[in-house]
Chains A and B, each alone.
Chain A
Amino acid sequence: MPEAPLTSKTSAPAPPKTPPATRSSVAMGRAAFMRLLWPLVALAAVLLWNLAFSPGFFHIEVRDGHLYGSLIDIANRAAPVMLTALGMTLVLATFGVDLSVGAVMAIAGAVAALVVEPRGGVAAILLALAASLAAGLWNGVLVAYLDIQPIVATLILMVAGRGIAQLLTNGQIITFHNPVLETLGGGFFLGLPFPITLVAGVYVVLGLTVRRTALGLFIEAVGDNASASRYAGVPAARVKLLAYVICGLCAGLAGLIVTSDIRAADANNAGMYLELDAILAAVIGGTSLSGGRFNLLGALLGGLLIQSLTTTILTKGIPVQFTLVVKALVIIAVCLLQSEPLRRRFARQKAVEKREEAAA
């Protein structure tokens, strides 16, 4: 590790003998897996429960070279949540939060729908992404350079953003027909719905960026302790800015998918409450709300879990409004699992049991 001389000087009780890098990476790998275990178990439970009640649930068939089936459908519908959750994960890891992703989705959709008729699909996609990039920059500058609390800074765009989107569409639902833009939400790639491909692509790019470069380490350092990382030479402000920009871009892509899926920009409803789903997905996936720890794969699992819950409720014929109640209970359960006092109590109980065992 490059900082080895520094640490050996400052921290006296350094772990002896065992090379620290391999030891910590093995431990980290195991910890990451353990964090993914719960969402995986939960997802499997929901899917198996579905299988028990509707036997054709796991059935996937090929029609015209495209894959169809409930599982594919869940993944397809989960795409917007998964995309925003990926961006949200990085922001949460810097000890921030972005409440404006829903509004940014609405803005991206509005821009695309306005531009697509005169300028064509490619220009629409690029301009929509440019708009969401600008939104991310705005949030990032407020948080990183003006030092405003993330909840408040992004609240501004959350309130004003939807107004801007409505202003762009003049409060109306703008419909369009354009093959390029429609492919984004309704097309297929290698047999899979295009949104799934898009999510996979963004995941791979982000995953490689954060783990093959120092960015991931920087993000965790900034989230863990911003001033300490600044003293250590990490450009904390720039790292934060980048996280918000990525989050804005992810939200913009999600907005494009939603807009393309319904072939219309609906500034009132696009991305409504999605910021909450995105945060929930990231937290289910093992990203800590207190920063410094993140898991991109977990965010995808979280998104899938939320969508499969929603789909389950819908296919069971339970009124859709129950999803909110279920989500609320899931949030509380996940939070309690992450809660420090509860963990401490469990740890103490275990210690007591062990002592009793030893005594007996």
Chain B
Amino acid sequence: MTSPASPPPTTPRSSIQSRLLASQNVSLLATGFVCFLLYAAGGLAYQGFLSKNVFINLLTDNAFLGVAAVGMTFVILSGGIDLSVGSVIGCVSILIATMVKSGAPPALVIVGMLLLGALFGAAMGALIQYFELPPFLVTLAGMFLARGVGLVVSLESVPVDHPALTRLTGLNLLLPITAIIFLVLFAAGVYIAHYTPFGRNVYAVGGNAVSASLMGLPVARTVVGVYAFSGFCSALAGVVFTLYTLSGNASAGIGLELDAIAAVVIGGTLLSGGVGVVAGTFLGVLILGIIQTGITFQGTLSSWWTRIAIGMLLLIFILLQRFIQNRAAKSQGQG
């Protein structure tokens, strides 16, 4: 089904849409510029900031956030939101740790968790699509459910010392395994979003679900698929988290959904859906990571400055989006 690198359709598009798509490049450029600026500023301010090790750590430390953010990008592109990602990470990590501890084969457990995550997401998507429930409320319930189940399994963190898993994390193929998963999933995300029918359907549904269904696109399947994909990504993020910390913790990933949303928004994806690119999210995750690294390098600034800095960046990018949208709408009115 997947057609190779098809050029963007040249059929006449409503000009507001094309202007928004053009503005998407402005957003992406702005994000890239901010990312570069922050990185350069860090390099100027602190010795060793630009070293290879710091960069690898940047990828490793933010791998689970990045993996979750890929799924979140698709959900937001489709015009929805998924608040359950942070809890799913906690739930998956504690389930893996407990099951592996009680003797289950790790490979089987991990595959099972990924399937479970996708199923969980699909169930939420079905509630949203077929019962016309607001996404943020359904995924809020999902957030409570996943967190609750995780905490019921175990309140304390459970160490993972299965030889297969410790060997996996010890592996170093240029990059640690968690960073590799992050990069591979990103590549897959870019491919799915821009080069598959499913990806195009996601954009169409996010742009306008009614016209998408009038065009005969499978709206219901797309919506359920998007949440299933996000559930899968969250579960994969849980696996990455477990490998990263070599332990399972039911309270892992509290508030991570907000960081993921922030990364997506900073990456230039419009929260109203339909406009954005997956590559922008990659830059968004890097920006969050660079801020965190910079604050660690600085040493005297406390960690809560991270929250404030992320809040400010969110504000700036949302205002930028607003400005671009208004301009697109205005020039549409003139043209």
Contact = CB atoms under 8 A, between A and B. Distances in A.
A149 B271 contact: yes
A322 B151 CA distance: 8
B175 interface: no
Interface string B295-326: 00000001011111011101100110010000
Interface stretch (B25-33, B55-63, B133-141, B221-229): B133-141
Contacts of A335: 127, 131, 133-134, 137-138, 141
Contacts of B138: 332, 335
Contacts of A263: none
Interface string A325-348: 111110110011011111000000
B131 A341 contact: yes
A152 interface: yes
Nearest to A138: B315
A163 B127 contact: no
B314 A156 contact: yes
Interface in B120-148: 127, 130-134, 136-138, 140-145, 147-148
A159 B271 contact: no
Contacts of B272: 149
A162 interface: yes
Contact of B141 (A147, A152, A155, A331): A331
Nearest to A290: B134
A336 B312 CA distance: 37
Interface stretch (A21-29, A117-125, A164-172): A164-172
A161 to B, nearest CB: 8
B1 interface: no
Contacts of A289: 134, 137
Contacts, number: 125
A332 B132 contact: no
B132 A158 contact: no
Contact of A152 (B142, B149, B271, B306): B271
A332 B148 contact: no
A324 interface: yes
Nearest to A167: B304
A160 B308 contact: yes
Contacts of B173: none
A9 to B, nearest CB: 30
Contacts of B142: 328
A322 B271 contact: no
B311 A171 contact: no
B132 A341 contact: yes
A63 to B, nearest CB: 35
B147 A324 contact: yes
A166 B305 CA distance: 9
Contact of A146 (B131, B144, B319): B319
B304 to A, nearest CB: 4
A91 to B, nearest CB: 14
B155 A321 contact: yes
A163 B144 contact: no
B305 A147 contact: no
Given A146-B319, A324-B151, A160 B310 contact: yes
A331 B137 CA distance: 8
A261 B284 CA distance: 40
A301 B109 CA distance: 43
B69 interface: no
A47 B5 CA distance: 62
Q: Most chain-A CB neighbours within 10 Å: which of B134, B151, B304?
A: B304
B81 interface: yes
A168 to B, nearest CB: 10
Nearest to B310: A159
B318 A148 contact: yes
B286 interface: no
B311 A160 contact: yes
B217 interface: no
Contacts of B322: 146-148
Interface of A: 97, 146-149, 151-153, 155-164, 166-167, 170-171, 276, 279, 283, 289-290, 319, 321-329, 331-332, 335-336, 338-342
- Nearest 8 pairs of A and B residues by beta carbon: A160-B311, A163-B307, A324-B148, A321-B151, A325-B148, A328-B144, A328-B145, A166-B304
Given A152-B271, A152-B318, A170-B302, 19 more contacts: A146-B322, A147-B322, A148-B318, A151-B81, A156-B311, A156-B314, A156-B318, A163-B304, A167-B308, A279-B137, A321-B155, A322-B152, A324-B145, A324-B147, A328-B144, A332-B138, A335-B127, A335-B134, A342-B131
Interface of B: 81, 127, 130-134, 136-138, 140-145, 147-149, 151-152, 155, 258, 261-262, 265, 271-272, 302, 304-308, 310-312, 314-315, 318-319, 322
13 contacts: A149-B272, A156-B315, A159-B314, A276-B140, A283-B137, A290-B134, A325-B152, A328-B141, A328-B145, A331-B137, A335-B131, A335-B138, A341-B131
